[in-house]
Amino acid sequence: MDRNFSLSSTFEMPNFFHAIMGAYLFLLLTLLFCVFPSVFLGFSLVSLPILFCNTTIIFLIFPLKGPLFHKIALATLSNAGGFGWEYFLACLASGSVHYFGGLSGAVYFVVVPFLELFWVVSIFALGLSVLASHKEIRSR
């Protein structure tokens, strides 16, 4: 049995300041894209997958070690990519309904969750790889 084993050497403490900044960013993004447009304009600019992606990034990536700038850039990239992906899927849905009729709605209903998961997982993996590469560069 190793007597020099300690819990602090096995587990790193999360960066609580970055986690708090991420929670504030999540609150700001939620207010900016959900509450304000629906109050003033009557519609919301965000969908559930974008909220899920923001929640995943902010509460799972922000507490990790790494520069805060990279984490904020990742959250911004995920929102821009999410809006672009939502616009692409909306254009795809309207085009498929125009060309294929009502049956495409059922196919769209089944396929879209997998397409949404595709971009959420890709952005999350990108964030983890950026933070891992930053840690690898610093350890050299």
Give the E-state strand segments of 12-132 in sequence order. Answer: none
Is 2 domain-assigned?
no
Distance CA 94, CA 71 (A): 34
Check residue 7 and give its pLDDT.
46
Asked whether residue 65 is assigned to any structural domain, the reply reads yes
pLDDT at 110 (0 to 100): 86
DSSP code per residue over 23-46: HHHHHHHHIIIIIHHHHHTSS-S-
- CA distances (Å), 131 to each of 68, 103, 104, in order? 10, 43, 40
Q: Give residue 53's pLDDT.
A: 84
Indicate yes or no: pTM above 0.85: no
Q: Is the pLDDT of residue 140 over 70?
A: no
Confidence of residue 9 (pLDDT cuts 50, 70, 90): very low
Question: Can you tell me the mean pLDDT for 103-131?
Answer: 84
Residue 8 has pLDDT above 60, yes or no: no
Provide CB contacts within 8 A for 79, sequence distance 6+. 29, 33, 50, 54
Q: pLDDT of 112-125, one tens digit each?
A: 888 888 888 888 88
On whether the CB atoms of residues 24 and 91 are closer than 8 A, the answer is: no
Residue 76 domain-assigned (yes or no): yes
Looking at the structure of the chain, the number of domains it has is: 1
At residue 58, the pLDDT reads: 83
Would you say 24 and 58 are in contact if contact means Cβ atoms under 8 Å apart?
A: no
Task: Answer whether residue 61 is part of any domain.
Answer: yes
Q: What's the domain range around 39?
A: 7-139
The predicted structure's pLDDT at residue 106: 80
Inside any domain, residue 57: yes
Q: How confident is the model at residue 88 (pLDDT cuts 50, 70, 90)?
A: confident
Tokens of 40: 């003033």
Residue type, position 33, single letter: F
Q: Establish if 118 belongs to a structural domain.
A: yes
In a domain, 104, yes or no: yes
